Amino acid sequence: MEFIAFAIATAVALQAMKGYTLTRERTLLYLNISFLLLGAGLLVDGLANLVVLLSRFHRNFIYLSRLGYTIDFLAQLVAYTILVVVYVQQTRTWSGQIAVAALPIALLESNPFTELILIFLLTYISAQTAINYNISRTTNSLLVFGAFASLALAHVFFLLFTVAPIFFPFAHISQLFGCFLLLGMLFRVNQTR
Amino acid sequence: MIPDGQAPAAIPAAKYRSQFRIFVDIMRVIQREGNEAKPTRILYGANLSHDRLVKYLEELKELGVIQESGSNEKVYGLTQKGVDCLNSFRKVEAFAGAFGFKI
């Protein structure tokens, strides 16, 4: 599943790069970097899990899974933070900027679950994309909102997985669904005439 | 639902247009005029002063995206490269618009 998500994230990054090459708009460059990071994190996590699986959970390789998860988490943290900063810059609300800067720190200090930080960032991005859909009412913006909302839900399931293993498949299905919504948006964009 | 690409931007428009955005606006006016646009139509359509219009039209000709024709009165049309460029821009605009970014 990580490899499919990696391919879709890379496709979105390439589309953003194409746009940046044409227009030199910095928001597209940040979008490109953000999705490249997401893709890289997913690839590392996927490869780490694959090695652990192929080694039949040999104890010498178990640490790789944890390392892969950590790298994926850090990549996601940076990627979503970039997106949040871009949205905050676009809306230019200082109160929003302060809230964005303060909350992850508060979460880091008060909560052991790193997933909560990603949930917070993704919820903010989902809210911004929902506002965008509410104004533009286009199918593409609905797909992007759906994608980020699904990714946020996936991290809620990943968080719940720490208390109940049953949520693990739901997390992956939700993550994959979000990626497919982004893929749908890409197809629609490339059919634009 | 309204068609993509024609939707209003979610984020307020930037105060100043980038040079690329002005190029696109000029090319759009030319296309809207049936690929035969007089300078006056472009001037009003792209909201430019005469001096800036002359400068940008020269730059677009050098880039090979528009061509000049007409003996008495100049008429501008898009080249194939210009049409391709405008189509690529529409895709980029739809892509950025999906995320709520105005370009």
Q: What tokens were used for A10?
A: 């890379």
Confidence (pLDDT) at A69 = 82
Rounded CA separation A24/A110 (Å): 41
- The amino acid present at A36, given as its one-letter code, is L
Residue found by looking up tokens 């790789």 in the block: A64
Low-confidence ranges of chain B (pLDDT < 70): 1-15
Question: How many CB pairs lie under 8 A apart between chains A and B?
Answer: 105
Confidence (pLDDT) at A173 = 92
Residue found by looking up tokens 């809620």 in the block: A156
Q: Is B48 helix (H, G, I), strand (E, B) or coil?
A: coil
B87 in Cβ contact with A193 (< 8 Å): yes
Reported pTM: 0.79
Greatest pairwise CA separation for chain B in angstroms:
47
Confidence (pLDDT) at A92 = 60
Confidence (pLDDT) at A61 = 74
Confidence (pLDDT) at A153 = 93
Taking each helix axis from N to C terminus, what angle separates B80-99 and A115-136, rounded to the nearest 10 degrees? 120
Which residues on adjacent β-strands are paired with residue B66? B78
From B19's Cα to the closest Cα of chain A, the distance in A is 9
The residue in chain B having the minimum alpha-carbon distance to the alpha carbon of residue A83 is: B99
CA separation, residue A64 to residues A15, A45, A46, A59, A72 (Å):
31, 9, 11, 10, 12
The ipTM of this complex is 0.81
Contact A132 B96 (CB under 8 A): no
Confidence (pLDDT) at B7 = 43
Contact A140 B87 (CB under 8 A): no
Contact B2 A138 (CB under 8 A): yes
- The amino acid present at B61, given as its one-letter code, is K
Rounded CA separation B5/B93 (Å): 7
Rounded CA separation A15/A28 (Å): 9
Contact A138 B4 (CB under 8 A): yes
Q: Is A97 on the interface with B (CB under 8 A)?
A: no
Please list the pLDDT of chain A residue by residue as tens digits (193 residues).
Answer: 788 989 999 999 999 999 999 888 889 999 999 999 999 999 998 888 888 888 777 777 777 877 888 888 889 889 999 998 888 887 665 455 554 554 444 444 434 467 888 898 999 999 999 999 999 889 999 999 999 999 999 988 888 887 888 888 898 899 999 999 999 999 999 887 7
Catalogue all structural domains in chain B, each as residue range(s) with its CATH number.
Answer: 19-99 (1.10.10.10)
In the 8-state DSSP scheme, what is residue B4?
T
Partners of A138 on chain B (C-beta within 8 Å) are 1-4, 7, 97-98
From B75's Cα to the closest Cα of chain A, the distance in A is 25
Partners of B4 on chain A (C-beta within 8 Å) are 138-140, 188-189, 192
